[in-house]
Amino acid sequence: MRGLPQGSRIYVRGLNWIGDAVLSLGALQGLRAVRPDLEVTVGAPEATADVYRLSSAVDRVVPLFSRNPLFLFSKNVPRERFDLALILPRSFSSALESVRIAPRRVGFGSEGRSPLLTEPLSYSQWKALGLHQSTYHESLVKALAPEASYASPRLDFSPGQLAEAGKRFEKIVPVGGPVLAVNPGAFYGRAKTWPSAHFVRLLSELIGEIPDLTVLLFSGKADRPMARVLEEAIGSPRLVSLAGALSLAESAALLSLCTLLLTNDSGMMHLGGAAGRPGVALFGPTDPSATGPVPGPGGSRFSVLIHKVACSPCFLRECPIDHRCMEGLSPEQVRGEILRLLTESA
């Protein structure tokens, strides 16, 4: 790999999923730590643009609106030229759209796109190692700066964002006490979600036994119905649903003030970790050794709970059988871990 001259302008093609985007921040932070001279612009779809806007490792974010197959001519791909494009997704289209953006293009060679990259990395070699996804991102930035290493992904909120989150928090939790943030959904599909009946039982018990506990429901708009089911079934003023009500940046800033996060394997899990919160992550059809939570800034960690079944990981969006991986993860087990972490944080 050729070196990068001082002050080079880098275009980073960002990722399309929130969790992946958060994980990629650790690599961009590592790059910034050793090459603060580089000017880093990220092109990202609206769904993840806020993730990159919250990183001080990124100088500028260009939102990409179009998934038009004629993207080469789309006004939504940056018109300007860069010295090098670092292409985080593995798609053919992300490499093709970068051809007219930069003369040097670095990414993993997959989907037959190696000829479009000037410095391709071997995806099959990386995949064969069976490593965590964070190492995928680290390999890419190491191709630019070999001394760069992966850092804990971190969200850098502005003072204004934190002040606004603080006001919102005080309104919701005027009396203090621990606050359990809960993400009952998963954008990827229902197979990743813990059953609503388990959430209802667990949260009802916790609200009953911890007199000053507040539960905040976080989720995207698509999971509003699921949040409504929990609200109606639990029927407590100490459970407040913010499902679909906040932007990604607002959710993340508010999460940073909560005590713990209970979440399915989802983008919210990685967002909460990067906001510095510890928590409990529930895994079923996916593999925590590949995409599980990484340590957050300041060393915060998630406990990963999993009910081992022979068919896991299947990586399906919908379970074709009886959802035993999630049904078998009992509310008692999750309750025990939450109580342990609440005691630790008191």
Contact 148, 31 (CB under 8 A): yes
Residue 193 binding ligand SF4, by CB under 6 A: no
Instruction: For the CB of residue 186, give the shortest distance to ligand SF4 in the complex, in Å.
Output: 12
DSSP letter, residue 44: E
Contact window for ligand SF4 (CB under 6 A) among 35-43, 203-211, 246-254, 311-319: 311-319
Site membership for ligand SF4, residue 233 (CB under 6 A): no
To ligand SF4, the closest distance from the beta carbon of 84 in angstroms equals 40
Closer residue to ligand SF4 (CB): 175 or 310 = 310
- Tell the smallest beta-carbon distance from residue 86 to ligand SF4 (Å): 34
Task: Take residue 47 and report the two structure tokens written for it.
Answer: 């769904």
Q: What CA–CA distance (Å, rounded) separates 132 from 336?
A: 27
Residue closer to ligand SF4 (CB basis): 169 or 283: 283
Q: Which two tokens stand for residue 89?
A: 């997704």
Please select the residue that binds ligand SF4; options are 26, 178, 278, 284, rule is CB under 6 A: 284
Alpha helices in the chain (DSSP H): 18-34, 46-53, 92-98, 123-128, 133-144, 159-172, 196-209, 224-234, 248-255, 267-274, 288-291, 324-327, 331-345
Report whether the peptide linkage leading into residue 313 is cis, meaning its omega lies within 30 degrees of zero. yes
Task: Pick the stretch among 78-86, 118-126, 164-172, 314-322 that binds ligand SF4 (CB under 6 A).
Answer: 314-322
Residue type, 154: R
| C-beta neighbour count of 56 within 10 angstroms | 12
Taking CB under 6 A as the rule, which mask of x and - marks residues 234-273 in contact with ligand SF4?
----------------------------------------
* Residue 201 binds ligand SF4 (CB under 6 A): no
Binding-site size, ligand SF4 (CB under 6 A): 14
Positive or negative, the Cα torsion across 168, 173, 176, 178? negative
Select the span of 103-111, 120-128, 179-187, 308-316 touching ligand SF4 (CB under 6 A): 308-316
Q: Does residue 153 have a cis bond before it (omega within 30 degrees)?
A: no
Q: Write out the residues near ligand SF4 by the rule CB under 6 A.
A: 191, 284-285, 309, 311-312, 314, 316, 319-321, 323-325
